[in-house]
Amino acid sequence: MTTHYDLFVIGGGSGGVAAARSSANLGAKVGIAEGDKFGGTCVNRGCMPKKFYMYASHCTDEFESARSYGWEFEQPKFNWKILKDNTFNEIKRLNGIYDNMLKNANVDVHNGFAKFIDEKTIEIEGKKITADKFLIAVGGKPFKPAIDGQEHAITSDEAFHLEKLPQKMIIVGGGYIAIEFAGIFNALGVDTTLMVRRNLILNGFDNDIRQHVREEMEKKGIKIAPTTNPVIIEKQNDGSLNLHCNHDKEWGADQVMFATGRVPLLDRLGLENTNVKIDDRGQIDVDEWQQTSVNNIYAVGDVTNRNYNLTPVAINEGRAFADTHFGKETRNFSDFIVPTAVFCQPQIGTVGLTEEQAREKYNNIDIYKTSFAPTKYRLSDIDEKILMKLIVDKDSDKVVGAHMVGPDAGEIIQALGVAIRAGATKYEFDRTVGVHPTIAEEFVTMREPSA
């Protein structure tokens, strides 16, 4: 017997769950399939465990800062196993919350991998299911370069589950995942080197931010090797790894981690049995309404070739899909603005255009920029500088970009995202009184352009 749904969602990550719940709450008959744990990359192998590990790594500076405020205590000792166990107990709790949310919304949950038999039928564990609409939300997986010995390296998926902390680690990559893990492992006492294909980290971010973060990471002891790529990884008799890199250089480490991007998780979907178009990067091609080249098959999140690979983006795409197909509102993701945080050390918060993008788009721009030491560290020996930057279209006076490196940058940039989405001008920033003494007040006290 074949079961039929108004909507069937393939993938139980943030985007898929949001679409399934929202559609069911709007009256649709909805099923969802997940072959792993609900919550997707974010809950199980990404945002959440990484944030807990980041909190743990921040304690290094917190202990140091505490001494300057009069606290006396013995040298702290870190226990990797306690962090792992506590983190994944919390992840299990979150998995249960996702299960309950779906059941409470009357979504039929199917535990197993779904595969397309044709464009109107999928199969899960031998059971056939049809639907008026299918939504693919299977997310992505880490990418490993095809080099000899790549099997000896781990990815971000395995980094959370190491049996013990390595003494010496090489992280290959220059994106946000690479620099976040570099900050975590370095602060936990690991001798950490970041191998970067380009001259600078964080391609696509504002160049001032890229340079500033690099300098701050190096001050904290992270070694950065620009224009360096591993060519071969060899495992030695003692278990250590030897990397042969370009420029005929060799590097040794106890652990190598690839953070060289992510690719859509299409392995088991059976898309070859459909006419769903895949682009040359292996991503599902969708339009602004998340529709694929097949009119009853849609996709959201990291598996697509649209927007950003961010959890809140996938959630909003899923909810917009539900409203459009089962609600009374037709909408898509095209008019959203996306603030972004990178939880490196120090943190990055960014929203809107980079300086480089603004110079291409506008004839006249003003740049407002400031850098200073945070008050919190003035009593300690911690050497860290904040960078804050506003980009203004001079002709309209609108603030078109805001960027920050420093403590709580992610928290601060969220509010600025609302202001920029609303079209706030520099005049309105200047007429807002700062909360003193805070870091955030600097965004409303920068008066003179720096460029």
Single out the residue of 40, 42, 43, 79 nearest to residue 59, CA to CA.
79
- Bridge partners, 4 (sequence order): 130
**CB of 220 closer than 8 Å to CB of 345:** yes
Q: What is the enclosing helix (H) or strand (E) of 223?
A: strand 223-225
Q: Residues with Cβ < 8 Å from 38, sequence gap 6 or more?
A: 12, 13, 17, 95, 98, 99, 102
- Closest-CA residue to 18 (of 35, 36, 38): 38
The separation between CA 43 and the C-alpha centre of its own chain, rounded to angstroms, equals 12
CB 252 within 8 A of CB 241: yes
What would the two tokens of residue 436 be?
A: 């003193």
Catalytically annotated residues:
436
Cα–Cα dist 84/52, whole Å: 9
Cα separation, 324 vs 7, whole angstroms: 13
Q: Which two tokens stand for residue 444?
A: 């409303």
436 CB neighbour count, 10 Å cutoff? 7
Alpha-helical segments (H) within 105-241: 156-159, 176-187, 207-219
Residue 404 to residue 443: CA distance in whole angstroms = 9
Residues in the chain: 451
For 215, the 3-state DSSP assignment is helix
Which candidate, 370, 372, 373, places its Cα nearest to that of 65?
373
- Secondary structure class of 142 (helix, strand, coil): strand
Radius of gyration of the chain (CA): 24
Q: Compute the distance between CA of residue 42 and CA of residue 65 in angstroms, rounded to an integer.
A: 31
Element (H, E) at 104: helix 80-104
436's CB contacts (< 8 A; 6+ apart) are none
User: Could you tell me the sign of the dihedral formed by the alpha carbons of 251, 256, 261, 263, in that order?
Assistant: positive
